[in-house]
A and B are shown apart, each in its own frame.
Chain A
Amino acid sequence: MSAPLGYLTAAGNRAHTILPLTWFTLAISIAVCVVIALCLLGALRRGGLRRWPVDMRTVPVARGGAGLRWIGIGVALSAIPLLAILVWTMQALAAAGPLRGRAALTVDVTARQWWWEVRYDADTPAQTFLTANEIHIPVGRPVRVRLHGGDVIHSFWVPQLSGKTDAIPGRTNDTWLQADQPGRYGGQCSEYCGAQHAHMGLEVVADPPAAFEAWRTAQLRPAPAPTSAALMHGAAVVEYRCGACHELRGTQAGALAGPDLTHLASRARIAAGVLPNNAGALAEWIQYAQRVKPGTLMPDQNLDGADLSDVVAYLGTLR
């Protein structure tokens, strides 16, 4: 059961609280169905099945006894697992519910059609940065995630770490994550949000503390300066064209309509999980976004060959 979005395996604190209850209710459910199926088959056997056609009047009508006992016993027996589920539910709700205690880190996630804007806030603007679709957290520590609805309702879901919480415009929903071990955990939007709801993935990366600090420090730096003529040309095109919607800190590109690209090359995937982050996929995304994700808000760029290769090369340096 190693499906990327499956939740029958857990790797996080909250998911670990939920999973045994999930197995318990599943087991009870299957058992109940088996029992009822057996009762049904038994009841059919016992009465003796008469095949149609038959003259119905030859099968006598009679009120057999003791039928009511079935209802009493059946309901009484059903009460036991139901009560157990009820009690365990209340306990798990408290345990997997809102974070008690301090969070090691707070991340603000704004859900937009069809990507995730991630903001790491701090006391000073110099310590604040934006990224997109890939959230790094320190392993083993609780991380608060504040969810904002950027346009329509989306739902934030990283199955192996936690259950879903909606991002609703006009309100801020708090959720939290805690990963038990380092790793990459996939997630996906789970509230229908329009044409590309199917392609709104995200990834949570749990890093050991040192690696997390190194990542954070790297993210805070502005975009690395281009070092060759081709890269300078690429940077200029990016600033001029992409800057209409994207931000690259340290350059003139400062728009916030699309994902922050300052450290694009540090991410494993692009287009909210649809494509891997390599030169070919990047070129495809830039030129034919509408083919990859029809309806996405990024238009096809139709760059000519030289521009495109310089742009892709420059973006590849944004580690």
Chain B
Amino acid sequence: MKAADMRVPEVGTATPELRRRLDEIWKTGPGIAGFLGTVDHKKIGIRYIVTAFAFLLLGGIEALLMRLQLIGPDLKLLTPDQYNVLFSTHGMTMIFLYAAPILSGFSNYLFPLLLGNRDMAFPRLNALSYWIYLAAGIFLYVGFLTGHGPNDGWFNYVPYSERDFNPGLNQDFYSLGMVLLGISTTVGAANFIVTLLRMRAPGMSINRLPIMTWGTLTASAANLVVVPSVSLAFLLLWLDRQFGTQFFRSAGGGQPLLWQHLFWLFGHPWVYAIVLPAMGMVSDGLPVFCRRPLVGYSLVALSTVATMILGFGVWVHHMFATGLPGLGLSFFSAASIVITFPSAVAVFAWLATIWTGRPVVTTAFLYFSSMILMFVIGGVSGVMTASVPVDWQLTDTYFVVAHIHYVLIGINLFPVLGAAHFWFPKMTGRFMDERLGKWSFWLVFAGFNIAFLPMHLTGLLGMPRRIYTYGPEMHWTALNTITTCGSFILALGILLFLVNVLRSRRHGRVAPANPWDASTLEWSVSSPPPEYNFAVIPTVASRHPLWEDRLQEEQATSSLDRGMLLDRGKEVVTTTPLDAEPDLILEMPGDTTAPFWLTVGLSLLFIGLLLRVVSLAAGGGVLTALAILVWLWPRRALREREPAHG
């Protein structure tokens, strides 16, 4: 064994000299090369968050246009085709381009900081997942902006999406764009899983992980194996459209319901994947403002995993009206009711944390606590739809639209807005304005409930989904008017939130390292964190390293000031999955534009496929292959190779 291949890592404290050296090693290069080639998880996280918020705004504008069309009966603000494209694009944007990426963004930024390490397991893959997300979003929106937006809803049922009924490029943009986006989601999921299992601070055993990381872990494990289902579905649809295959066309023995199964096998786990990390953010953030650890940590962690596992077994509840046999209906109905139990565990854990704590009312706290009620409202309307006979009336009406918005806005957007207020000081070094924050919270809260609470009744009065207009004799007019007004109030709240973010970036009050006196590792570094996160790798002895002096519960306390230096290069330590014992020192890759060029190659490939231009597709494929080759070429600096003989 050569001396350099085994090493006892130096242990020490964080001196200015050490910080200078680490900064030099870890910082992103300057200029365009640095911009395109950075692998810094914090920069990538912020890019994800900003891009996702941009899509939130676009999706919101689409919603406002629809609500204006529906504010009264028989209006002609939009043509039927325009309305149909809008509701489809709104769904696609919010569910695929906002809800998952925003959580990826927060997770990307926070994982190494929460876990006590300096980087994600696969920094280049991290960059790739962002670039592909951006490319897919642009690809999909080019379709929308050129009049070829999706027009069959976000779940895109066949046969209407087949060429026989949908001859334009709309469905081709959607299908190929989703396959491209799926690559981003899958590689991102792989990154989160391996990072959580292998890249933690020594001592951060599996029962000391912040709940948010549990949420992202389960969501990623699910995404890894269900995204292929929807990618396959869209690819098969594209093949039906372009090459006359018969996957979904009944004339050739194909099965329209195969689409629904493939889609919902993905779609149901997906909707849990876009809320579980957000629930984790609440589980980590709420206790800070209640000045006590989360009640029932182990139960909440287990309930996160249980929800995800059960989430694989309920997809047919989107298909109760398709004429399936009774035995299947009974099973999936029962499973859809049972899945409520782990969610109930989380709700009561949060309530107990507030009840037995000492709440401090900040804007973040308002979002984290109010979401509990939104969650429950969304949950109970979900139980109603879980009951098959009741669902036969409720399904495809505005009752379901109310349900999905309570669960998506309540369990994704509310925690995200809270998370923004909570972690903004860490990310930027400045507080968001609390007064403006509270104003925007109340507008969001009021607007959301005014828009969507009456919608339950609209559904019970029979208004079907996805209709561009309705007659005055249907008794839906007043309710629709109220909903439209609420939606504009909600929009105003979001606008104020945005103003708050932009103003606070420059003029917010300067924030210290730990402005909320929180307990987890990210608050032990400066605001914003240095490029290398931790000058010395901490050793963790509990779930609440920064509260150990107050709680006085553990045998040992975490070591935050003294730890491994790992300053011989761009170094991290990897640890065992369960007990987090260090087992390897790894050299991490530096800036590289390979992920960017790979994305360019993939984009050219997909554009070539869309337009059926073989040379473009082939060129894109070649560029992709070259980028992969350059990326995977074993490097001496990363110790991926060494001669066998010599």
Tell whether any CB of A sits under 8 Å from a CB of B in the complex: yes
Chain A residues with CB under 8 Å of chain B are 1-8, 15, 17-18, 21-22, 25-26, 28-29, 32-33, 36-37, 39-40, 42-44, 46-54, 56-57, 59-71, 73-75, 78-79, 82, 85-86, 88-90, 92-94, 96-98, 113, 147, 149, 151-153, 155, 157, 159, 162-166, 168-171, 173-174, 188-198, 294-295
Question: Is A66 in contact with B356, judged by CB distance below 8 angstroms?
Answer: yes
Chain A residues with CB under 8 A of B344: 74-75, 78
Chain B residues with CB under 8 A of A73: 348
Chain B residues with CB under 8 A of A43: 351, 354-355, 359
Q: Which of B334, B340, B353, B373 contacts A36 (CB 8 A)?
A: B373
Smallest distance from the beta carbon of A84 to chain B beta carbons, Å? 10
Q: Which of A62, A79, A152, A190 contacts B291 (CB 8 A)?
A: A62
Most chain A beta-carbon neighbours within 10 Å: one of B338, B384, B387, B519: B387
Query: Does B157 have its Cβ within 8 Å of any Cβ on chain A?
Result: yes
Question: Is A67 in contact with B295, judged by CB distance below 8 angstroms?
Answer: yes
Q: How far is the CA of A316 from the CA of B344 in the complex (A)?
A: 62
Question: Is A164 in contact with B361, judged by CB distance below 8 angstroms?
Answer: no
Q: How many residues of B contact A (CB 8 A)?
A: 99
Most chain A beta-carbon neighbours within 10 Å: one of B348, B389, B470: B389
Chain B residues with CB under 8 A of A25: 383-384, 387, 390
Chain B residues with CB under 8 A of A54: 360
Chain B residues with CB under 8 A of A28: 380, 383
> Nearest residue in A to B156 (C-beta to C-beta)?
A192
Chain A residues with CB under 8 A of B392: 18, 96, 162-165
Smallest distance from the beta carbon of B341 to chain A beta carbons, Å? 6
Smallest distance from the beta carbon of A104 to chain B beta carbons, Å? 22
Interface string of B377-396 (1 = CB under 8 A from A): 10011011011111111111
Q: How far is the CA of A35 from the CA of B605 in the complex (A)?
A: 55
Question: Is A97 in contact with B474, judged by CB distance below 8 angstroms?
Answer: no
Question: Is B468 in contact with A47, judged by CB distance below 8 angstroms?
Answer: no
Chain B residues with CB under 8 A of A170: 250-251, 254-256
Question: Is B291 in contact with A59, judged by CB distance below 8 angstroms?
Answer: yes
Query: Does B165 have its Cβ within 8 Å of any Cβ on chain A?
Result: yes
- In the complex with contacts A59-B291, A62-B292, A33-B380 CB distance below 8 A: yes
Question: Is A32 in contact with B165, judged by CB distance below 8 angstroms?
Answer: no
Smallest distance from the beta carbon of B398 to chain A beta carbons, Å? 11
| A-B pairs with beta carbons under 8 Å apart, 26 shown | A4-B475, A33-B376, A36-B376, A42-B355, A47-B358, A52-B360, A52-B361, A56-B517, A59-B360, A60-B358, A62-B551, A63-B292, A63-B293, A66-B356, A67-B296, A71-B348, A75-B341, A86-B334, A90-B334, A93-B389, A164-B393, A168-B323, A192-B153, A194-B165, A294-B80, A294-B81
Q: How far is the CA of A170 from the CA of B250 in the complex (A)?
A: 5
Query: Does B553 have its Cβ within 8 Å of any Cβ on chain A?
Result: yes
Query: Does B216 have its Cβ within 8 Å of any Cβ on chain A?
Result: no
- In the complex with contacts A29-B383, A68-B296, A295-B81, A5-B461 CB distance below 8 A: yes
Q: Which of B251, B338, B377 contacts A33 (CB 8 A)?
A: B377
Chain A residues with CB under 8 A of B299: 68, 71
Question: Is A71 in contact with B349, judged by CB distance below 8 angstroms?
Answer: yes
Question: Is A2 in contact with B80, judged by CB distance below 8 angstroms?
Answer: no
Q: How far is the CA of A137 from the CA of B468 in the complex (A)?
A: 31
- In the complex with contacts A68-B296, A153-B159, A89-B387 CB distance below 8 A: yes
Closest 6 CB pairs of A and B: A163-B392, A170-B250, A5-B462, A67-B295, A74-B348, A70-B352
> Nearest residue in B to A25 (C-beta to C-beta)?
B384
- In the complex with contacts A22-B390, A155-B321, A70-B355 CB distance below 8 A: yes
Query: Does B646 have its Cβ within 8 Å of any Cβ on chain A?
Result: no
> Nearest residue in B to A26 (C-beta to C-beta)?
B384
Question: Is B373 in contact with A40, judged by CB distance below 8 angstroms?
Answer: yes
